[in-house]
Amino acid sequence: MRILILGGRVFLGRHLVEAAQARGHEITLFNRGKSSPELFPDIDQINGDRDGQIDRLGDRTWDAVIDTCGYVPRVVDLSARYLADRTKHYTFVSTVSVYADFKETDIDESYPVGTLAEPTEEVTGESYGPLKALCEEAALSALPGRVFIPRPGLIVGPHDPTHRFTYWPERVDRGGEILAPLPKEEPQQTIDVRDLAEWIVRMVEGNKVGIYNACGLEEPFSMETLLETCRTVSGVGAEFTWVDGSFLVEQEVGAWMELPLWIPAEPDSVGFSRISIAKALAEGMTFRTLERTVRDTLEWNKTLEPGKRRAGLDPEKEAKVLAAWHARTQES
* DSSP string for residues in 203-238: HHHTT--EEEEE---SS-EEHHHHHHHHHHHH---E
> What is the separation, in whole angstroms, between the first and last Cα of the chain?
65
Q: Do domains 2-152 and 167-188+221-268+289-331 have the same CATH topology?
A: no
Res 268: pLDDT:
86
pTM for this entry: 0.96
Q: Is 292 helix (H, G, I), strand (E, B) or coil?
A: helix
**At 248, is the secondary structure helix, strand, or coil?**
helix
Residue 73: name the closest of 30, 119, 8 by CA: 119
> How far apart (Å, rounded) are the C-alpha atoms in residues 110 and 105?
13
Contact 157, 292 (CB under 8 A): no
Q: In what helix (H) or strand (E) does residue 136 lie, and over which residues does it extend?
A: helix 128-142
Q: How far is CA 209 from CA 92, 164, 165, 203, in A?
A: 10, 30, 30, 8
Q: What is the CATH number of domain 2-152?
A: 3.40.50.720
What does the domain layout of the chain look like in residue ranges?
2-152, 167-188+221-268+289-331
Q: Decide: helix, strand or coil at residue 281.
A: helix
Per-residue pLDDT at 163: 96
Half-sphere exposure of 41 (CA within 13 A, CB side): 1
Q: Give dist(CA 144, CA 195) in Å, integer.
A: 27
The span from the CA of 324 to the CA of 212, in Å, is: 44
- Alpha carbon separation from 232 to 155, 242, 295 (Å, rounded): 22, 18, 10
**CATH class of the domain at 167-188+221-268+289-331:** alpha beta
pLDDT per residue of the chain (332 residues) written in tens, 0 to 9 = 999 999 999 999 999 999 999 999 999 999 998 888 889 999 999 999 999 999 999 999 999 999 999 999 999 999 999 999 999 999 999 999 999 999 999 999 999 999 999 999 999 999 999 999 999 999 999 999 999 999 999 999 999 999 999 999 999 999 999 999 999 999 999 999 999 999 999 999 999 999 999 999 998 899 999 999 999 999 999 999 999 999 999 999 999 999 999 999 888 899 999 999 999 999 999 999 999 999 999 999 999 988 878 899 999 999 999 999 999 888 76
Nearest one of 80, 72, 89 to 142, comparing CA atoms? 80
Query: Which of 107, 116, 108 lies closest to 137 in space, CA to CA?
Result: 116
**pLDDT the model gives residue 34:** 87
According to the model, what pLDDT value does residue 332 have? Answer: 66
